[in-house]
Chains A and B, each alone.
Chain A
Amino acid sequence: MEVAVSIITGLMILGALYAIHAKDLLSSVIACGIVGYSLVICFLLLKAPDLAIVQIVVDTITLIIMVAVVLDSSREELFLKPDTQGYVTTLTGVFLLAIFLYFFVISVQSLDILGKGSLRMAEQYINGAAQKTGSANLVTGVVFDFRGYDTMGEAVVLVTAVLGVLTILRIKGKK
């Protein structure tokens, strides 16, 4: 299992590198789709069918939005002017890499080995959840019952985002 997930993650890394380096923006966006759809396979391997369904839908919508934006433009990543502040970028990158590496090492040491985790926290959600919530699907039970306020907040964020997109696309800019 871990080997399969690692191989697919390796393919995702290759797709991500291509997405970042492609000259044509359309290829870049579609390579981003490769990463998203590989994530669906990972979710299925990790026994998360709900996530796989949602990720397929969301990734398709994201891809459509991005392709619409790119097709509306000249598509090329234009000429590369020499970057006068390249050393600033390099320094920022090294600095951030050091910080993230430090915290990654700390947090991974405190984690369980993959696949050997305990259900200490989730036992409250699993035991008798089907009777408490009336839902055979435990994920649905958690999302819509135990953490219903979270889901309400999520809906508020979605409405706000839709209103924001409509507002941004409608206003007339100053010339």
Chain B
Amino acid sequence: MIAYIMCFVLFLVGLYGVITKRNLVKIAVSLSIMEISVFLFFALLGYIDGGVAPIVDPADPARVYVDPLPQALVLTAIVIGLATTSMLMAIIIRLYRKYGTFDIREIKNLRG
């Protein structure tokens, strides 16, 4: 239960960064923090007390394994996270070369 709550707090910290910061790099960092909290939450969901890593040992069929399904989902999500982060950083570096700043209030077309 405590671990779930800490995970949620980590998510909220990332959300706070996305909402309050006006610097594009800080926003990208906050987004990846939110991503990381979700990965941790999934890994927590699959954990079983006394379980071992899900690698089959034919010599000992009575073992308890942790749930492999959330791990497979997170494996996909981590790689997708890398793709989105690199895309984000490419857009950020283009914006920096055009406007010379990371501040989204200074960038004309992103002003909210």
The interface residues of chain A lying within 8 Å CB-to-CB of B25 are 25, 28-29, 66, 69-70
Cα separation A36 to B49 with both chains bound (whole Å): 24
Q: Would B54 and A62 count as touching, CB distance under 8 A?
A: no
The interface residues of chain B lying within 8 Å CB-to-CB of A32 are 29, 32-33
Interface residues of A in 44-93 (CB under 8 A from B): 46-51, 54-55, 58, 61-62, 65-66, 69-70, 72-73, 77-78, 81, 83, 89, 92-93
How many residues does chain A have at the interface if contact means C-beta atoms less than 8 Å apart? 85
How many residues does chain B have at the interface if contact means C-beta atoms less than 8 Å apart? 79
- A106 adjacent to chain B (CB < 8 Å): no
Cα separation A126 to B68 with both chains bound (whole Å): 8
Inter-chain residue pair count (beta carbon < 8 A): 241
Interface residues of A in 5-59 (CB under 8 A from B): 5-6, 9-10, 12-13, 16-17, 19-20, 25, 28-29, 32, 35-36, 39, 42-43, 46-51, 54-55, 58
Q: Chain B nearest CB: distance from A43 CB in Å?
A: 6
Which label, helix, strand, loop or mixed, suits the secondary structure of the A interface? helix
Q: Would B69 and A117 count as touching, CB distance under 8 A?
A: no
Q: Would B72 and A47 count as touching, CB distance under 8 A?
A: no
Considering the complex, give the chain B residue whose CB is closest to the CB of A12.
B10
Listed A/B pairs (6) with beta-carbon separation below 8 Å: A12-B10, A61-B86, A115-B49, A139-B54, A143-B72, A154-B80
